[in-house]
Amino acid sequence: MKLLVIGHPLRFRKIKTELKNNFNEIRAEYMEYWDYSETNDVLKYVKNNRKSIDALLFTGELVFKWFSAKMFNDIVSDYVYKDSGSLLKMLLQALNKGYDIFNISIDSYDKDLVDEVYEELELNIDKSIHICPKYIFQGNNYTEDVYFFHKKNFYEKKVSCCFTAISNIYEKLSNDNIPCFLFQPTRDVIKNTLLKLQLKHCIQVNEYSQIVVISLEIDLPDEESIINKDEYQIILENMEVSKQVYIFAKKIEAAVQEVNFRGFMLFSTKKILDIETENLQKFDIFEMVNQNTLSKISVGIGYGKTAREARYHANLGLLKAKKYGGNKTFILYDSKTIVGPIDYLKKSMTKTDSNKIDEKFLNIAEKCEISVNTIFKLYNIVQRQKKDCFTSHELAEYFGTTPRTIYRIINKLEQNGFAKVIGKKIISDIGRPSRLIKLLFY
């Protein structure tokens, strides 16, 4: 596939790296473009080279929209999209540099997405978050208007720093010594965008007869679940589910689009999905999420002749699956051919009262005669430290208790098969090595 990448050169490096590492079959050419008032040169080039261009990739949404009304409809095109993860990354960078993230100006992001990110972090947005409505300014002076929007807010001391997705605005603000942060797409975002372009191209040239969309959503915890009392743990859980989704997506060669903090759309083909799932007889994502998290997911699988049709069927399947209490799937081949609910984990759909407190924690707590809160706290430590092996002194420090108390807890866990000694660790030059304990919660 011959790809023409159009946009600011600041974005080219990551795209080149991803193409080199994972897309050897794509031959890419790059065309620098950031003066949004001048489109004729780009349009002329595309028109003259139409026969040798299979797809267009724009480095940002703005440049894509600038061309959308003038571009050739028969060329597959897309842009590197902005997701919640990129905004979280910029917020983290600002925090690390000591800026007040409650006093910022931001462009190119929908207000709903900004609100969603702050709400997920349990932060309330007030009037100090200055959001420049997307494309509110008209005409060829758009970027200048956005630049002055940021500059005015900073010099009037309304904001501590600026967030922008427009490369030349970032350069101008930096030259003015105004603290600013530029949206940088993650590797996954670039990879997924390239995968989507490939799939669109494949459909266009009939290399595959049908596209499949998988709509997946993390189910909300039960109202009385112990995990529901810890917002940070919910975020960690969602991140772990997201990790499993991307691993599964790689297996079925799917592009992933994050819909929100709990939702994902996976774009693949019928041919690949049938091979990897043995004609939908198995669907590994359920087992992967079940083994590595405490979460449940609902899934809709939609088929269609076009991506839009498949997406519609997948979303309809998801809505049906969510009504059945989690870990269920509905498959829609068309609006009349529906299969489901399917339980790939082979578990009963009947819910018991014990589901109000997570069964994994309850089971361990009852066997070891330890409180559910203690088990949940240990699980939190494993998640936050991103490891499951500790010395007793490390556990005591993370837990906020004495080594003697931790010894008693470890002994009970070990006696019931939920912990084991896997070695010894030398803490200092003096004293005996400490036992290295592996917690077995999965």
Q: For residue range 101-116, what is the model confidence (pLDDT) as tens digits?
A: 888 888 888 777 787 7
Mean of pLDDT values over 218-231: 63
CATH placement of domain 2-79: 3.40.50.20
Return the percentage of the chain with pLDDT > 90, whole number: 10
Mean of pLDDT values over 198-225: 70
Q: Read off the pLDDT of residues 321-341 as tens digits, 9 standing for 90 and up.
A: 888 878 888 888 777 777 778
Tell me how far apart the alpha carbons of residues 88 and 186 are, in angstroms, rounded to a whole number. 11
* Residue ranges per structural domain of the chain: 2-79, 84-182, 208-342, 358-439
Hey, which CATH number is domain 358-439, 1.10.10.2120, 3.40.50.1220, 1.10.540.10, 1.10.10.10? 1.10.10.10
> With 60 as the cut, is the pLDDT of residue 127 above it?
no
Quickly name the fold that domain 84-182 has. Rossmann fold (3.40.50)
The pTM score is: 0.50
Which pLDDT band holds residue 358 (cuts at 50, 70, 90)?
Answer: low
Is there a common fold for 2-79 and 208-342? no
Q: Which CATH superfamily is domain 208-342 in?
A: Reverse transcriptase/Diguanylate cyclase domain (3.30.70.270)
